[in-house]
Amino acid sequence: SYVLTQPPSVSVAPGQTARITCEGNNLGSKSVHWYQQKPGQAPVVVVYDNSDRPSGIPERFSGSNSGNTASLTISRVEAGDEADYYCQVWDSTTTVVFGGGTKLTVL
């Protein structure tokens, strides 16, 4: 089965840039989506298809995907960005796969 690996936690000071990675075999050939989940709430997609942003998501959120690693970059981090972030792909054998999630802490 296909596996996506994320770091358990990332910490960043307000105003700095946070980068959250997602690793998988030949991930660059797949379409990666990123979700933000705040405590007690349903996930919200912040980046889809590697680098597209849904309407209403700030330009501070961006994504990239190449080789075996996809990244979610959050520029000018704010306290309100503190949340869990999950990457997700569709794989032909396992269908929908989520990463283990990364807790973003704003110091």
Residues that bind another protein in the complex, under the rule CB under 8 A: 1, 31, 33, 35, 37, 41-45, 48-49, 54, 86, 88-90, 94-101
Question: Least Å distance between CB 37 and another protein?
Answer: 8
Strand partners, 106: 12
Tokens of 100: 């283990």
Task: State whether residue 79 is helix, strand or coil.
Answer: helix
Q: Identify which of residues 6 and 77 has a Cβ nearer to another protein in the complex.
A: 6
d(C-alpha 107, C-alpha 103), whole Å: 12
Q: Which residues, in sequence order, are bridge partners of residue 89?
A: 97
Contacts of 80 (CB under 8 A, 6+ apart): none
In angstroms, what is the minimal distance from the CB of 48 to another protein?
4
Task: For the CB of residue 45, give the shortest distance to another protein in the complex, in Å.
Answer: 6
Place of tokens 């997609």: 45
Cβ proximity to another protein, 5 vs 16, nearer residue: 5
- Shortest distance, CB of residue 15 to another protein, whole angstroms? 29
**Among residues 49 and 78, whose Cβ is nearest to another protein?**
49
